Structure 1
Amino acid sequence: MVTEHPRTNRHDEIETIVKAKDGGVTETRDEADKYTVVGAAQRRTFANWVTPIEEHFVCHRNDIPAIESDEWTVTLTGHAEEDLTMADIKTKYPTVAVAHTMECAGNGRGQHRPETGSVQWGFEAAATAVWTGVPISSILRKHSIDSPENRWLTTIGGDPSDEEDVFARSIPLTKALDDCILAYEMNGEPLPREHGYPVRLIVPGWYGVNNVKWVEELMITDSMVTEGSLDRPGEHAYWQQVAYRLHPKGVKPEPLENIDTVDTWEQLEDAVEHPYTFDANVMSIIGVPDGASPVTPRTDGTLEVRGVAWAGDDAIERVEISVDGGETWVDAELFGPEYAGAWRLFRYDWAPEAGQHVLLSRATDELNRRQPRTISNPDVWRDALERDEFPWNEGGYAANAVEPNAVEITVLEREEPTPSG
């Protein structure tokens, strides 16, 4: 069984990443002292549609592999067999760019009370980048794989583990053929090492754990990865069947080969007993004002409240703003680019009184699913969503509650200009 042991070189790696990103990110507390984790350093990151690489969060458990791009290959196995070099990937297939809001499945873990273990994220583990690469569909259709037929794409990362586990994740072949890519560029630049250089899987709108870095193998399988299903030594199924699943405290999830829905929210509504983290839940963050310093209204007496909202595979239908700690709500305006799998910008022009204010945002998706107000206590499970709460779960996954992401601001009086004469 995989255990979490401290990794001695973790802090050196974090320091290097923070330095390279020039202050755009900051280290996040990791109870196991095992993960390399940095998140957006400023709330203002969530006021823009594209997240600069310097502000994009990083999370991985194993060491970054030492890779030379011209020596790296991606092996196709299962119902297809081929070794793809990076030259093959870049020159033999179409090139596309996709916008993708990537959110760590553990985003919001640090908002659980009592705390769960591992990385204590607030809201800083989410970002939107434009990824360039090759459609998975183009690669698989070369091998006459153009129908999902209830199959899965299992992606294996090439990052070395100091345990006896393999980082493998399975996604439905329907999703892989729809919009997934093997990416080798991020925001128009070569993929940085900490983001998966030389190639990673991008699964638009799905939690970050599905977006496997340092892709080494793509396997077409008839089920999700289970223990012993890979032709290699070590533990195979931990990252699919144990970690990154939602369950109450003290429960060991049963491994499943197939499920009827990959929608995380739908699974929580009783479709799957212990849900998997695939499609991201509806979520929003206010980016400005950021609460870091007092603000003064514009000459017309208003302040702009601006932020981002996302809902995985589903579209954002509505964003509401509260400027009084959740007592009342008004609709914000959605604006800017609208791409499947990427967040929407929202704004609201507010005429505030001077003083202290607590600002909240809550988003609703096209299926009329709205962010719950709080995270439940550990005694509540299936009934949490009906009580306007997100269910506390032992892994701290998929949280999207409104109140923990509030921003407290101070509004100053606007000085009236002195009449001349």
Structure 2
Amino acid sequence: MQRNTITRRDLLLAKPAHTTERDFQPVQTPTGDFFRQRLRHIPRIDPAFWAFGLGGLAAKPLVIPYETFMTLPTVELCATLVCVGSTPAHPLMSSARWRGVPLAALLADAQPKPEARFAQWYGADGYTTFTELSRLGEAILAYEMNGEPLPPEHGFPVRLIVPGVYGYKMPKWIQRLQLTDAPANGFWEQRGCSANGDVLTLSAITAPRHLESVRGPVVFEGFAFAGARLIAGVDISIDDGPWMPVPLGAAIPYTWRPWRITWTPPAPGNYRVKVRATDSDGFIQPAAAPAFPDGSTAIQTIIIRVTA
């Protein structure tokens, strides 16, 4: 069977999120259930010897030791993170409440030179990527996750959070940032992933599961997410019938939006169920779309077995 997902060897180290909950409220995913993705080892960093460096095309380069970094003003941000290889069949997607230092404040202190246009990131695991400076207005260097210190597997002591982009644009175990006038492709960009990393519009049915046997009436539940855009609507279709709008949960910027609908089947049997989302730009998910290299935006289809 062909899988609509990235199959590169490196993604084998990804651990799917736990998505068995029947209710996606609240938005926050417990830290222990949050999906994990790494390419190499998990660095074990002693904060006594860690410092964040900001240099390159900066008039006033910064080197901030851990103790000083932890005293800087912070902001809190709720954000959903998605791996570019995520599909409904292999979910790599979770939400958390992040606290950290706003990058804009550090950039203001460093005074980027006029020719600086890109941020080149370097992690302690050897991972690199880049971001356009113009896209970092709401970015934070997070050191707390769901009210607790950032765990090593999620980037301790500091990871980058940029709302609305895929996880490969948010490196963990951050050591330094170099301001440059031109981008230098990182690990995933060299393998064909997009330079901007914008999350594509997606939706999923989380209950019932594919091929699950259920009794009527059937409660369908799931979520939809569109990165920096909002979810304007979600529809389901039964046995290729007309698309039916479903009730939505609260719309919170940069986080997935839950949905739920109860359906009474006309008789026992197998039913084919599809879901699609429409974002605030008017984009509607297509029936099919390639997952590699820019992420999946195809609609999900499941089959349920109604027993009575």
The TM-score with structure 1 as length reference comes to 0.65
Check if 1:343 corresponds to 2:288: no
CA-to-aligned-CA distance 1:52-72 (integer Å, 9 cap, x gap): 222211111111112112321
Quick check: which has more Rg, 1 or 2? Answer: 1
Pairs within 5 Å for 1:373-384: 373-374=287-288
Q: Do 1:207 and 1:277's aligned partners in 2 also have CA atoms closer than 8 Å?
A: no
Structure 1's 292 and 97: CA in aligned 2 closer, same or farther, altered over 3 A? farther
Deviation, 1:238, is 4.3
Deviations 1:202-249 (A, max 9, x none): 011110001100001011222212xxxxxxxxxxx342641242xxxx
Question: Which one-letter code corresponds to 1:51 in the other structure?
Answer: T
Contact 2:131–2:196 at 8 Å: present in 1 too? no
How far the C-alpha of 1:295 sits from its partner, in A, is 2.5
Question: Of 319, 340, 354, which aligns to 2:234?
Answer: 319
Aligned mates of 1:38, 1:29 — CA distance in 2: 14
User: Which has the bigger relative contact order, CA under 8 A and spacing at least 6?
Assistant: 2
Q: Which residue of 1 aligns with 2:95?
A: 128
1:37 equivalenced with 2:28 (yes/no) = no
Please name the residue that 2:302 is paired with.
407
Question: Which whole-Å CA distance do the structure 1 matches of 2:8 and 2:180 have between them?
Answer: 35
Q: Which blocks of at least 5 consecutive residues in structure 2 are unaligned?
A: none
Deviation at 1:314, TM superposition (A): 1.1
Identity of aligned residues (%): 31
Give the deviation of 1:313 after TM superposition.
Answer: 1.1
Output aligned runs, 1:219-258, within 5 Å: 219-225=178-184, 237-239=185-187, 241-245=189-193
Q: Residues 253-264 of structure 1: matches in 2 within 5 Å?
A: none
1:186-197 mapped onto 2 (5 Å cutoff): 186-197=145-156
| Structural mapping, 1:11-410, within 5 Å | 32=9, 35-44=12-21, 47-48=24-25, 49-78=27-56, 79=58, 80-92=60-72, 94-108=73-87, 122-145=89-112, 151-160=117-126, 167-176=127-136, 178-225=137-184, 237-239=185-187, 241-245=189-193, 275-276=194-195, 278-291=197-210, 293-297=212-216, 302-324=217-239, 326-336=240-250, 338-353=251-266, 354-374=268-288, 390-391=289-290, 393=292, 395=293, 397-402=294-299, 405-410=300-305
Q: CA deviation at 1:46?
A: 7.8
Which has the larger share of strand? Answer: 2
- In the TM superposition, what is the alpha-carbon distance from 1:45 to its structure 2 partner? 7.5
Helix, strand or coil at the partner of 2:187: helix
1:293-327 deviations in Å (ceiling 9; x for gaps): 43234xxxx43322111111111111111122x33
1:31 deviation in Å?
Answer: 5.7
Paired residues, number: 300
Kindly indicate whether the alpha-carbon contact (under 8 Å) linking 1:277 and 1:398 is maintained by their aligned counterparts in 2.
no
| 8 Å Cα contact 1:204/1:312 also seen in 2 | yes
Q: Which residue of 2 aligns with 1:264?
A: none
Q: Return the alpha-carbon distance in structure 2 between the equivalents of residues 283 and 148 of structure 1.
A: 37
Q: How far 1:91 moved relative to its partner? A: 0.7
1:351-371 CA-to-partner distances (Å, cap 9, x unmatched) read: 223322222210111111111
Query: Are the structure 2 counterparts of residues 244 and 102 from structure 1 closer, same or farther at C-alpha, using a change threshold of 3 Å?
Result: farther
* Greater share of helix: 1
Q: Give the structure 2 partner of residue 24 of structure 1.
A: none
Comparing 347-356 with 193-202, which one deviates more in the overlay? Answer: 347-356
Q: Is the 8 A contact 2:204 2:222 kept in 1?
A: yes
Change (3 A) 1:124 1:46: farther
Q: Which amino acid aligns with 2:62?
A: E
Query: Residues 358 and 34 from structure 1, CA distance in 2 versus in 1: closer, same or farther, beyond 3 angstroms?
Result: closer
| CA-based RMSD | 2.6
Answer yes or no: is the 8 Å Cα contact 1:285–1:361 preserved in 2: yes
